[in-house]
Homo-oligomer: A and B are copies of this chain.
Amino acid sequence: MNGADILCETLLANGIDTCFANPGTSEMHFVAALDRQPQMRCVLGLFEGVVTGAADGYARMADRPAVTLLHTGPGLANGLANLHNARRAHTPMVNIVGDHATYHLIYDAPLTSDIDSLARPMSDWIGRADSTANVGARTEEAIRAALTGAGGISTLILPADAAWTEGTFPPPTVIAPPPLPLPDPAQLRAAAEALRNGRQTTILVSGLALRAPQLELLDRIAQKTEARLLAQQANGRMQRGAGRIALDRVPYVIDQALACFATTEQVILIGAKAPVGFFAYPGKPGSMLPESCAVLELAPPHHDLPAAIAALADEVGLAPVARLAPRQRPDLPRGVLTPDAIALALAAAMPEGAIICDESITSGRDFFGATYGAAPHDFLQLTGGAIGDGIPMAVGAAVACPDRKVIGLQADGSGMYTVQGLWTQARERLDVLTIVFANRRYQILHGELLNVGAGPAGQNARRMLDLDDPALDWVGLARAMGVEAARADTAEAFCELLRAALTRKGPFLIEAVI
């Protein structure tokens, strides 16, 4: 048994049985060890952004970490953007980054780099197994860190010689996740008092507060106390649809976000952060709250949010019943294919238990409002603003939940970042429907160019913001990677493709020309 074997054994003993991978030479012994463990599912991504984004989507739906396998510093670097998103979603993840053998680093061979410096900004825990003897212990630390709080990004650097050297090892430990902190009694009392003081109050929630049972309790608290319940702008996972609470989110657009809180006198945070501008805009504030608004944090993201919500319910009482959204089935849209038409078509047709992976940026903003009464579903968002998470997230969600339909709402610009993920959908026969909003431009940036006061786009700006010369053929891209696909440019054609796609299993892509 070598270091790579004990690493695999430790992962499997802790229920980590899915490995999203793109290996290189320094990871060959780890690959060989995975070969000896057929119960580990190995899923290849053709680029590391697919690997880490898939691990993110997997853990959001499985509620447990996957492991990634990345090749030295540059391989990690390629995966960092989606680690950034995963970290902002409090996703648990264990990254194994192979490195040169310890004694080889002095040679500064071409692939040598400072992996620690690269990993630090996007990791909650970093460790290095500097010999075979400590691979097991370091792996256990990595798993423990991933299971701490709401979830953490662990990055374990594995030198090749630590992987390949033989040793004898004690059996791996099953890690008990550290208990989540309970609400501080003083903060609980303060929140309860605030909810009784008659001021205009928003309860702002995220994380595990967005699961259906917690949202029902929160809605009954909000009714009882006449507070407004609101979700953070971007959230890792939210349970919604008919029979659940119809919850709004903080708007992305800064003027809308400011208006949303204009009369708010106090905010109570449960797993959410106080709302801030996604970007700075000249002459506009950074905080979305009025200056006089009080902010009370009942529970930060890494606390036991269900316990905090239950304790708050005990303090302030509950309305008798939660206001569950009724099932609504809009008529199928007709005529011009618009983002709104796509939203209505989805609201009418998407199946119960669908998992929505939303990286639609501007084009998908209609979806949320149109689907309060759609079949109940999970809604997964881009949490860190680093585009290129959509297609990989759908990969991971589909691996985690093979019996549920995954629907990716995908902007074309961000979709190109990790387009390679379509191939993994084909290879693994994943039940993913990707809807590409093909507006053939970075639409958001045309708006932002105006928002920041930089004026409308001229020739050079259009060369950097428009994707229409040549237009991307998403049907061709998908088919070239083994995913069946078709194009729609009317609402009727879209509805027909959607119906067909939802009655079959396996990957499919609709290019919605809007």
Contacts and interface: CB of A to CB of B under 8 A. Distances in A.
Interface residues of A, number: 108
Interface stretch (A149-157, A187-195, A378-386): A378-386
A207 interface: no
A104 B36 CA distance: 50
A292 interface: no
B110 A464 contact: no
A68 to B, nearest CB: 12
A32 B461 contact: yes
A279 B102 CA distance: 11
A286 B38 CA distance: 33
Given A103-B286, A452-B28, A461-B32, A479 B476 contact: yes
Contact of A81 (B77, B101, B117, B458): B77
Contacts of A72: 385
A176 to B, nearest CB: 29
Given A419-B419, A473-B479, A479-B473, A23 B100 contact: no
Contact of A84 (B28, B32, B77, B476): B77
B107 A42 contact: no
A23 B464 contact: yes
Interface in A95-153: 100-101, 103-104, 106-111, 113-115, 117-118, 120-122
A285 to B, nearest CB: 10
B84 A74 contact: yes
Contact of A280 (B88, B104, B110, B383): B104
A319 interface: no
A455 interface: yes
Given A104-B279, A280-B103, A452-B160, A470 B113 contact: no
Given A110-B88, A470-B427, A121 B118 contact: yes
Interface stretch (A44-52, A296-304, A305-313, A495-503): A44-52
Given A416-B420, A461-B31, A470-B427, A287 B78 contact: no
Contact of A109 (B278, B388, B457): B278
**What 10 A-B pairs come out closest when comparing CB atoms?**
A476-B480, A470-B482, A74-B386, A101-B280, A32-B454, A104-B280, A77-B80, A107-B276, A114-B121, A74-B81
29 contacts: A25-B279, A25-B444, A25-B445, A26-B279, A26-B280, A28-B445, A28-B448, A31-B449, A31-B461, A32-B461, A35-B457, A73-B84, A74-B384, A75-B81, A88-B110, A100-B280, A101-B280, A107-B287, A110-B278, A110-B383, A118-B118, A160-B280, A161-B280, A164-B453, A427-B469, A472-B482, A473-B479, A473-B481, A474-B480
